[in-house]
């Protein structure tokens, strides 16, 4: 088969013809479209294009004035519409017009008329085609008067808003006052207004979401704490000693009114907020616990023994005492814990301290094997009151133990010298005078102890002599010994004390015996000898100053020709006593005791009407030189 092929010149001549034909077709199409558009515009000149609706009203082909009339007649939404507001079970309904909505008919018609006319040739064609094919729903133009809408929402806020309220818990006496807290609520006017405007623009009935801001109080609920407080005040608080012994104090009771004064209600952090906490103010209980401690606390006391010279063993005389003390901090914690748990019977927290020497101690365990020192002083001429005081003071030391290395204070053991403790009034030296006072004669005991420690070779730590020579302390079994002057010691605790140290590696047991019929006091030290021995010398009275002449003075409580001596003459003097202590034949230590006695005046008192008091005193042997 043969294929015909156009010559090159023929092909070149036909291409321009094809291009001209295509261009002509396009021009003709555009002319047709333009003609159609113009014709369509001319056909609907002054009228809304077909397919245009507004809020369900068909405005196709209507002139603007007719469209306005149709819309005004049919779109009654501003007055017939319903906008719903809801807060929980509360519901409010309002017409859009009440909320400040105004339907702008003129502007809405202009928007509808502008469909297919405002976007240029191709835009208009597209708009017209869309309206023709599927219709165009033009939203109505709504104007919202925000002042009216805002005022309407403010009216809702007055019904919705409520303040935040903190929970309240306090006491009025013993009355518990409790009110729960309240969560605060406030209508967010601006956010709710924005939701309202959006709903009105839809031109439909609907519910507007109200924006409500809530504020939770720091403490919303304190009902549990109120119940705890009711439990605390429901019964008295009773405090008692655990495992009480016969004679122990207690129990102690705190009634509800007193407890109410001790309760504290405080705020504490809890999560992101706070909570109320019921607690006890320690300052409220402190006075009571201090009072309890004063009754309950006691120092540990060693057992007291007597050394049996026959068996060389210890005979128990007084049982040991376990010390105890109130643990105030732990007791406060226990009270708080118990009350918060609803318990009102609380055992006190007591710390115990065992004594160093219990009832089961033996002579071997304490190193007590023999008598290492013993001294006797006499108190002939003492009255019944002075002898009573000597006996009571001496009993405080009978069977007492002193630990190795311990410095012993007589005043610590002697305690309070008072009428309440059995002491009587007798003559004492006070402020440069001999007067009647409680405890006269106690220095007989301190002097005897001083001499027992002195002749036992124990170091003397503190010793104070009397202001003047007291001849009781120079008595011997048969008379007086001038060499005993300067070997006395006075105690007026806490100002004046007597102390010595047990410097031996053994315990020291003291025994004190007061024989009123023989008018003597015997003090014994039991321990184990370490080979020490004591030598001593005395200067005797030096620089003697004679006593002043007797003083006679009237005492209105005495009768006529009655005379009484209240002070005794004593010469002043200086005395030095030197002690040398050896052990194993070698010098252990020496010490010196210097005493300065003041001259002392005898004083006699006589009753009113007594003329020859000096002669009367002489006849009675009163206020005479020794």
pLDDT of 373-388, one tens digit each?
999 999 998 888 889 9
Q: Is the pLDDT of residue 7 over 70?
A: no
pLDDT tens for each residue of 531-571: 999 999 999 999 999 999 999 999 999 999 899 888 888 89
For residue 316, what pLDDT is reported?
97
Average pLDDT over all residues of the chain: 89
- Predicted confidence at residue 472, as pLDDT, reads 87
First CA to last CA distance, the chain:
188
User: Which of 110-114, 124-128, 458-462 is predicted least confidently?
Assistant: 124-128
What secondary structure letter does DSSP report for 370?
E
Q: What mean pLDDT comes out for the span 605-614?
A: 90
H or E, element range at 108: helix 105-113
**Residue 293 pLDDT exceeds 90:** yes
pTM: 0.64
Lowest mean pLDDT among 43-57, 316-330, 348-362: 43-57
Q: What is the CATH number of domain 532-626?
A: 2.20.230
- Asked whether this chain's domains 223-353 and 532-626 adopt the same fold, the reply is no
Angle 151-156-161 from CA coordinates, rounded to 5°: 120
According to the model, what pLDDT value does residue 2 have? Answer: 45
Query: What average pLDDT does this structure show over 281-295?
Result: 89
Q: In this structure, which topology does domain 223-353 adopt according to CATH?
A: Ubiquitin-like (UB roll) (3.10.20)
d(C-alpha 394, C-alpha 382), whole Å: 16
CA 300 to chain centre: 30
- pLDDT for 165 beyond 80: yes
192-248 pLDDT, tens per residue?
999 999 999 888 999 999 999 999 999 999 999 999 999 999 999 999 999 898 889
* Residue ranges of domains in the chain: 26-158, 223-353, 367-530, 532-626
- Residue in the block written with tokens 């924006």: 211
The first and second tokens of residue 577, run together, are 């006593």
Confidence of residue 37 (pLDDT cuts 50, 70, 90): low
Identify the pLDDT of residue 449: 98
- Distance (Å, whole) CA 12 – CA 28: 26
Q: What is the pLDDT of residue 433?
A: 55
Tokens standing for residue 432: 């440069």
Backbone dihedral region of 241: left (phi > 0), alpha (psi from -120 to 50 degrees) or beta? beta
Strand partners, 531: none
Q: How far apart are CA 466 and CA 445, in angstroms?
A: 13
**What tens digit of pLDDT does each residue of 560-578 get?**
989 988 888 889 999 999 9
């Amino acid at each position: 088969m043969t294929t015909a092929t156009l010559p090159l010149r023929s092909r070149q001549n036909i291409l321009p013809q094809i291009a001209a034909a295509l261009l002509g077709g396009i021009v003709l199409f555009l002319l047709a479209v333009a003609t159609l558009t113009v014709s369509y515009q001319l056909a609907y000149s002054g009228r809304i294009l077909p397919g245009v609706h507004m809020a369900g009203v068909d405005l196709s082909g209507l002139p603007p004035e007719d469209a306005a009339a149709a819309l005004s007649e049919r779109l009654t939404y501003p007055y017939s519409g319903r906008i719903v507001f809801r807060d929980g079970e509360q519901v409010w309904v309002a017409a859009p017009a009440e909320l400040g909505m105004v339907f702008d008919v003129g502007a809405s018609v202009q928007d509808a008329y502008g469909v297919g006319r405002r976007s240029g040739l191709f835009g208009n064609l597209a708009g017209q085609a869309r309206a023709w094919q599927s219709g165009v729903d033009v939203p109505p133009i709504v104007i919202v008067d925000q002042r009216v809408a805002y005022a309407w929402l403010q009216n809702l806020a007055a019904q919705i808003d409520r303040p935040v309220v903190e929970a309240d818990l306090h006491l009025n006496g013993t009355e518990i006052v409790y009110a729960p807290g309240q969560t605060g609520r406030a209508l967010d006017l601006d956010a709710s207004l924005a939701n309202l405007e959006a709903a009105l623009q839809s031109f439909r009935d609907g519910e507007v979401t109200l924006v409500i801001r809530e504020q939770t109080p720091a403490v919303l609920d304190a009902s549990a704490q109120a119940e705890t407080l009711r439990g605390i005040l429901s019964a008295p608080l009773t405090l008692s000693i655990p495992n009480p012994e016969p004679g122990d104090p207690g129990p102690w009771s705190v009634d509800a009114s007193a407890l109410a004064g001790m309760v504290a209600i405080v705020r504490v952090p809890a999560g992101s907020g706070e909570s109320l906490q019921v607690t006890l103010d320690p300052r409220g209980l402190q006075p009571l616990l201090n009072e309890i401690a004063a009754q309950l606390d006691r120092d540990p006391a060693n057992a007291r023994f007597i050394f049996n010279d026959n068996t060389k063993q210890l005979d128990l005389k007084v049982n040991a005492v376990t010390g105890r003390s109130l643990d105030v901090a732990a007791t406060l914690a226990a009270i708080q814990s118990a009350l918060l748990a609803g318990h009102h019977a609380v055992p006190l927290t007591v710390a115990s301290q065992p004594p160093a020497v219990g009832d089961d101690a033996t002579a071997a365990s304490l190193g007590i094997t023999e008598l290492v020192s013993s001294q006797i002083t006499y108190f002939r001429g003492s009255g019944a009151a002075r002898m009573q005081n000597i006996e009571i003071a001496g009993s405080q030391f009978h069977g007492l133990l002193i630990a190795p290395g311990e410095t012993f204070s007589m005043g610590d053991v002697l305690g309070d010298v008072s009428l309440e403790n059995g002491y009587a009034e007798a003559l004492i030296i006070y402020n440069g005078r001999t007067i009647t006072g409680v405890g006269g004669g106690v220095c007989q005991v301190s002097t005897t102890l001083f001499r027992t420690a002195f002749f036992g070779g124990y170091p003397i730590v503190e010793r104070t002599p009397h202001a003047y020579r007291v001849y009781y302390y120079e008595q011997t079994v048969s008379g007086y010994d001038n060499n005993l002057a300067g070997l006395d010691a006075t105690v007026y605790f806490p100002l004046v004390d007597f102390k010595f140290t047990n410097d031996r590696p053994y315990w020291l047991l003291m025994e004190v015996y007061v024989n009123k019929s023989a008018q003597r006091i015997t003090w014994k030290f039991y321990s184990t000898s370490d080979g020490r021995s004591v030598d001593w010398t005395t200067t005797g009275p030096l620089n003697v100053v004679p006593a002043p002449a007797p003083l006679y003075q009237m005492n209105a409580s005495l009768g006529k020709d009655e005379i009484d001596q209240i002070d005794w003459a004593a010469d002043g003097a200086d005395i030095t006593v030197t002690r040398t202590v050896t052990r194993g034949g070698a010098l252990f230590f020496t010490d010196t005791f210097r005493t300065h006695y003041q001259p002392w005046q005898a004083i006699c008192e006589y009753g009113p009407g007594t003329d020859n008091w000096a002669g009367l005193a002489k006849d009675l042997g009163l206020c005479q030189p020794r």
